[in-house]
A and B are shown apart, each in its own frame.
Chain A
Amino acid sequence: MTRVAGLHGWEANERVLESGGFESRQRVLVPETVVEPSEAGARWLGVTYWQAVDGFTRGGVRATWGEAGGRLRLLGGATLLRFGPPQLGYGDGVVSCRYAIEGGLLALRAGGSVTLAQRVEEPEHELSVTVEEYLPRLAARAGTPWWTGALYAKGQSPFHAAVSRRYFELLVQGCAR
């Protein structure tokens, strides 16, 4: 299923929460940890994710960062999503990097987050990308025909899953040095 040795157990799921927000999660399993439990390790999860976005879109969508957080920009112009600064965590077998979603063209309003994590799942380790409570502008609203959300269902959602897959590959490839 994947091109990188040692990376298996791909799972991807998505659901709409009672709040109306979306939750999507992709994960893989790896035999060894790819980052150490430290601030640097947690930060690396985030750095690699933005690299994956950039690489997957061939530079079409890039993350830019400032004091207050980051933005995903299309061709250096329009802001697709705006994020808060990274919240780094490590301990109890989990290393994580969480970004709060603060707005942008692809968000109906501020809210939700993207969390990149590595956690122990004996005897292996799970790498995951979890989007929680995100309100996508392109998704169908309650009571509207299904096709109003086609851009999300057929475009943004599979794109996000494909980026996650690329991200996992990059993490594992980087670890093999």
Chain B
Amino acid sequence: MRVAVFGATGVIGRALLPLLDQHEVVAVSRGPRDGESRIRWVEADVASGEGVADALEGADVAYYLVHSLGARDFERQDREAAGNLSREAAAAGVGQIVYLGGLGGDDPGASAHLRSRRETGEQLATDGVPVTTLRAAMVVGKGSVAFETILGLVKRLPVMITPSWVSTPTQPVALEDIARYLAGVAGNEAAIGEGFDVGGPEVMTYRQMIERIAVLLGRKPRIVEVPVLTPALSALWLELVTPVNASVARPLVEGLRSPTVAREERLRKLLPFELTSFEDAVRRALEG
């Protein structure tokens, strides 16, 4: 199969590419790239649509691993970019779009970011190409913005004043595992046109996550939960103490209010393998 990967230079894309070695891979980036000879790098920009048709020429499957988080109007940008991909994929006769979305987008109180992840999936399907959507919570891996935010907090703060979202349940998944699932659904008849929840092996609160990362780092931060702390204040605070910029942190913080827990296990049954434990995923992220 010929597989085009949009967002190939991102955290997920980089983890996915080595798992697609049985396919002819077209890795798509916005700038020129050199890479392994088995991967053909092409330049295209889904935001403008430029180069997208060429990148999709002859492709059977298109991975959509792109987002505009951090942009002021990320919802509109994501919608337009997904629309461009949808249109060009239909024109190129692509048989399947694979999209990594987020859990929690159906929560009535979902943040703009979580809603946008859901809408992007819907937009990708508008021109009739079957979309396989994997909905995941936080991806635990080096470079994952949400994970790096939590890591930054644990590394820098002996005392954390946190809003009540630290009690929200989530089901973080290892970068290696999400990449494996993404690779496994390409061309998989049972997955085409389907949406799946993807979770790691354990459900935990953000507070528990912080505490467990702290143990691995040999730290013991004190967490003080306060009932009122606005997302704007939290985001500014995160910008101060972590490497993450406020424009990225704010939509993430707002999203932390919604539970991000898998409510079904169909993908685990379709592609069974032993999931990476949270501790092992963190260790790998720290080593990587």
The reply to whether B265 and A36 contact each other, CB–CB distance below 8 Å, is yes
Indicate whether B247 reaches chain A with its CB closer than 8 angstroms. Answer: no
Query: Smallest distance from the beta carbon of A71 to chain B beta carbons, Å?
Result: 9
Choose the segment among B46-54, B102-110, B272-280 that binds chain A (4+ C-beta atoms closer than 8 Å). Answer: B102-110
In chain B, what residue has the closest Cβ to A177? Answer: B106
Task: Give chain B interface residues in 187-228, CB to chain A under 8 Å.
Answer: 195, 197, 199, 203, 205, 207-208, 225-227
Given A40-B199, A47-B169, A55-B108, A67 and B208 contact (CB-CB distance below 8 Å): yes
Contacting residue for A76 out of B199, B203, B227, B259, CB 8 A? B227
Q: Is chain B's binding surface mostly helix, strand, loop or mixed? A: loop
Interface residues on chain A, size class: 20 to 34
Query: Smallest distance from the beta carbon of A59 to chain B beta carbons, Å?
Result: 7
Q: Which residues of B contact A75 (CB under 8 A)?
A: 227
The reply to whether B208 and A43 contact each other, CB–CB distance below 8 Å, is no
Task: Give chain A interface residues in 54-78, CB to chain B under 8 Å.
Answer: 55, 59, 62-67, 75-77
Query: Smallest distance from the beta carbon of B185 to chain A beta carbons, Å?
Result: 18
Question: Beta-carbon contacts of A43-54 to B below 8 Å, as 1s and 0s?
Answer: 110010011000
The reply to whether B265 and A65 contact each other, CB–CB distance below 8 Å, is no
Chain B residues engaging chain A, CB cutoff 8 angstroms: 106-109, 164, 167, 169, 195, 197, 199, 203, 205, 207-208, 225-227, 259, 261-266
Subset of 29 A-B contacts with CB under 8 Å: A35-B263, A35-B264, A36-B263, A36-B264, A38-B265, A40-B197, A40-B261, A40-B263, A40-B264, A41-B264, A41-B265, A47-B259, A47-B261, A47-B263, A50-B259, A51-B259, A55-B108, A63-B167, A65-B169, A66-B205, A67-B208, A76-B164, A76-B225, A76-B226, A76-B227, A77-B227, A170-B108, A174-B106, A177-B106
